[in-house]
Amino acid sequence: MPRMTLRKILIHPDPRLKKVCERVAEVDAEIRKLADDMLETMYDAPGVGLAGPQVGVMKRIFVIDCADKDAAPDPMILINPEITWESEELNTYEEGCLSIPEIYEPVTRPELVRMSYLDADGKKHEDEFDALYATAAQHELDHLDGVLFIDYLSKMKRAMITNKMKKLKKERARD
Protein backbone atom coordinates (compact mmCIF):
# COMPACT_ATOMS: atom_id res chain seq x y z
CA MET A 1 0.00 0.00 0.00
CA PRO A 2 1.38 3.46 -0.86
CA ARG A 3 2.25 5.73 2.04
CA MET A 4 -0.43 8.16 3.07
CA THR A 5 0.14 11.87 2.74
CA LEU A 6 -1.48 14.68 4.67
CA ARG A 7 -3.26 17.10 2.35
CA LYS A 8 -3.71 20.80 2.99
CA ILE A 9 -7.24 21.71 4.10
CA LEU A 10 -8.69 24.79 2.39
CA ILE A 11 -10.15 27.44 4.67
CA HIS A 12 -13.31 29.39 3.82
CA PRO A 13 -13.62 31.67 1.89
CA ASP A 14 -12.15 29.88 -1.11
CA PRO A 15 -13.81 29.66 -4.56
CA ARG A 16 -13.13 25.90 -4.67
CA LEU A 17 -15.44 25.42 -1.67
CA LYS A 18 -18.33 26.97 -3.63
CA LYS A 19 -18.24 24.75 -6.73
CA VAL A 20 -20.25 21.70 -7.76
CA CYS A 21 -17.87 18.73 -7.99
CA GLU A 22 -17.64 16.20 -10.82
CA ARG A 23 -18.61 12.55 -10.49
CA VAL A 24 -15.76 10.07 -10.15
CA ALA A 25 -15.60 8.27 -13.52
CA GLU A 26 -13.64 5.29 -12.28
CA VAL A 27 -12.63 4.08 -8.83
CA ASP A 28 -8.94 3.47 -9.51
CA ALA A 29 -5.65 3.52 -7.59
CA GLU A 30 -5.52 7.31 -7.73
CA ILE A 31 -8.95 7.60 -6.07
CA ARG A 32 -7.99 5.01 -3.45
CA LYS A 33 -4.82 6.97 -2.64
CA LEU A 34 -6.89 10.16 -2.41
CA ALA A 35 -9.37 8.46 -0.04
CA ASP A 36 -6.55 7.17 2.19
CA ASP A 37 -4.94 10.62 2.24
CA MET A 38 -8.29 12.20 3.09
CA LEU A 39 -8.84 9.79 6.01
CA GLU A 40 -5.32 10.46 7.30
CA THR A 41 -5.86 14.22 6.97
CA MET A 42 -9.25 14.00 8.73
CA TYR A 43 -7.86 11.98 11.67
CA ASP A 44 -4.88 14.33 11.96
CA ALA A 45 -7.06 17.48 12.04
CA PRO A 46 -8.97 15.92 13.93
CA GLY A 47 -12.45 15.80 12.43
CA VAL A 48 -15.33 13.42 11.71
CA GLY A 49 -15.68 14.17 7.99
CA LEU A 50 -13.77 15.56 5.02
CA ALA A 51 -14.86 16.14 1.42
CA GLY A 52 -12.80 16.27 -1.81
CA PRO A 53 -13.08 20.03 -2.41
CA GLN A 54 -11.76 20.71 1.11
CA VAL A 55 -8.40 19.37 -0.07
CA GLY A 56 -8.78 21.05 -3.48
CA VAL A 57 -9.92 17.92 -5.35
CA MET A 58 -13.15 18.76 -7.19
CA LYS A 59 -14.52 15.23 -7.19
CA ARG A 60 -17.59 13.66 -5.60
CA ILE A 61 -15.92 11.84 -2.74
CA PHE A 62 -15.97 12.22 1.02
CA VAL A 63 -14.81 10.33 4.09
CA ILE A 64 -16.38 10.14 7.55
CA ASP A 65 -15.76 8.43 10.88
CA CYS A 66 -18.41 9.07 13.51
CA ALA A 67 -17.44 6.28 15.91
CA ASP A 68 -17.48 7.11 19.63
CA LYS A 69 -14.12 8.24 20.97
CA ASP A 70 -13.72 5.00 22.97
CA ALA A 71 -14.91 2.72 20.15
CA ALA A 72 -12.85 1.21 17.33
CA PRO A 73 -12.37 3.48 14.29
CA ASP A 74 -15.10 3.24 11.64
CA PRO A 75 -13.66 4.87 8.51
CA MET A 76 -16.08 5.16 5.59
CA ILE A 77 -15.30 6.24 2.02
CA LEU A 78 -18.27 7.42 -0.06
CA ILE A 79 -17.83 7.97 -3.79
CA ASN A 80 -20.56 9.50 -6.00
CA PRO A 81 -22.93 9.57 -3.01
CA GLU A 82 -26.62 10.30 -3.57
CA ILE A 83 -29.51 10.65 -1.14
CA THR A 84 -32.16 8.08 -2.05
CA TRP A 85 -34.49 8.78 0.90
CA GLU A 86 -34.73 11.18 3.81
CA SER A 87 -36.99 11.21 6.87
CA GLU A 88 -39.57 13.91 7.49
CA GLU A 89 -38.34 14.04 11.08
CA LEU A 90 -35.65 16.62 11.60
CA ASN A 91 -32.72 16.81 13.97
CA THR A 92 -30.61 19.75 15.08
CA TYR A 93 -26.89 19.34 15.77
CA GLU A 94 -24.11 21.76 16.49
CA GLU A 95 -22.04 21.49 13.33
CA GLY A 96 -18.47 22.42 12.68
CA CYS A 97 -16.25 22.15 9.62
CA LEU A 98 -12.51 21.69 9.14
CA SER A 99 -12.69 24.50 6.53
CA ILE A 100 -14.29 26.84 9.10
CA PRO A 101 -12.19 26.10 12.19
CA GLU A 102 -13.47 26.69 15.72
CA ILE A 103 -16.98 27.75 14.65
CA TYR A 104 -19.92 25.65 15.85
CA GLU A 105 -23.54 26.47 15.06
CA PRO A 106 -26.80 24.50 15.19
CA VAL A 107 -28.08 23.23 11.82
CA THR A 108 -31.37 21.39 11.26
CA ARG A 109 -31.46 18.52 8.77
CA PRO A 110 -33.45 15.29 8.20
CA GLU A 111 -32.88 12.93 11.13
CA LEU A 112 -32.35 9.87 8.89
CA VAL A 113 -31.09 9.57 5.32
CA ARG A 114 -30.44 6.70 3.00
CA MET A 115 -27.49 7.19 0.67
CA SER A 116 -26.21 5.18 -2.27
CA TYR A 117 -22.49 5.34 -3.01
CA LEU A 118 -19.49 3.41 -4.26
CA ASP A 119 -16.84 2.22 -1.81
CA ALA A 120 -13.08 2.25 -2.42
CA ASP A 121 -13.42 -1.02 -4.38
CA GLY A 122 -16.05 0.51 -6.67
CA LYS A 123 -18.75 -1.64 -5.06
CA LYS A 124 -22.22 -0.09 -4.81
CA HIS A 125 -23.87 0.30 -1.40
CA GLU A 126 -27.06 1.78 -0.03
CA ASP A 127 -26.94 2.50 3.69
CA GLU A 128 -29.15 4.25 6.19
CA PHE A 129 -27.46 6.88 8.33
CA ASP A 130 -28.72 8.11 11.68
CA ALA A 131 -27.59 10.35 14.52
CA LEU A 132 -24.17 11.92 13.98
CA TYR A 133 -23.67 9.77 10.85
CA ALA A 134 -26.74 11.37 9.22
CA THR A 135 -25.55 14.87 10.03
CA ALA A 136 -21.99 14.22 8.87
CA ALA A 137 -23.05 12.48 5.65
CA GLN A 138 -25.41 15.34 4.71
CA HIS A 139 -22.84 17.98 5.68
CA GLU A 140 -20.17 16.29 3.53
CA LEU A 141 -22.55 15.72 0.60
CA ASP A 142 -23.31 19.46 0.70
CA HIS A 143 -19.58 20.16 0.23
CA LEU A 144 -19.72 18.31 -3.12
CA ASP A 145 -22.36 20.83 -4.24
CA GLY A 146 -20.49 23.89 -2.98
CA VAL A 147 -22.69 24.28 0.10
CA LEU A 148 -21.23 25.03 3.55
CA PHE A 149 -23.06 24.64 6.88
CA ILE A 150 -22.89 28.41 7.37
CA ASP A 151 -25.13 28.74 4.30
CA TYR A 152 -27.98 27.58 6.60
CA LEU A 153 -27.37 30.47 9.02
CA SER A 154 -28.61 34.05 8.78
CA LYS A 155 -26.89 36.34 6.31
CA MET A 156 -25.53 38.43 9.17
CA LYS A 157 -24.09 35.48 11.05
CA ARG A 158 -22.54 34.11 7.84
CA ALA A 159 -20.89 37.46 7.08
CA MET A 160 -19.52 37.62 10.62
CA ILE A 161 -18.03 34.13 10.37
CA THR A 162 -16.59 34.83 6.91
CA ASN A 163 -14.85 37.95 8.24
CA LYS A 164 -13.44 35.93 11.13
CA MET A 165 -12.08 33.32 8.68
CA LYS A 166 -10.52 36.00 6.47
CA LYS A 167 -8.68 37.31 9.54
CA LEU A 168 -7.61 33.78 10.52
CA LYS A 169 -6.22 33.16 7.02
CA LYS A 170 -4.24 36.39 7.16
CA GLU A 171 -2.80 35.44 10.55
CA ARG A 172 -1.85 31.98 9.32
CA ALA A 173 -0.20 33.43 6.19
CA ARG A 174 1.96 35.62 8.44
CA ASP A 175 3.20 32.67 10.56
Site string for Ni ion, 57-96 (x = CB under 5 A): ----------------------------------------
DSSP 43-105: HHTT-SEEEGGGGT--BSEEEE----TTSPP--EEEEEEEEEEE-S-EEEEEEEETTEEEEEE
Say how far apart CA 40 and CA 57 lie, in whole Å: 15
Minimum separation from the CB atom of position 62 to Ni ion (A): 9
Measured from the CB atom, is 75 or 122 closer to Ni ion? 75
Measured from the CB atom, is 30 or 145 closer to Ni ion? 145
Asked if 97 touches Ni ion (CB under 5 A), the answer is yes
- Answer yes or no: are the C-beta atoms of 64 and 137 closer than 8 Å: yes
Site string for Ni ion, 99-138 (x = CB under 5 A): ----------------------------------------
Minimum separation from the CB atom of position 28 to Ni ion (A): 26
Q: In this chain, which residue has its C-beta nearest to Ni ion?
A: 97
Strands, sheet with 124-129, edge to edge from the N-terminal-most edge strand: 49-51, 61-64, 76-86, 113-118, 124-129
Instruction: Give the catalytic positions in this structure.
Output: 140
Q: Which residues bind Ni ion (CB under 5 A)?
A: 97
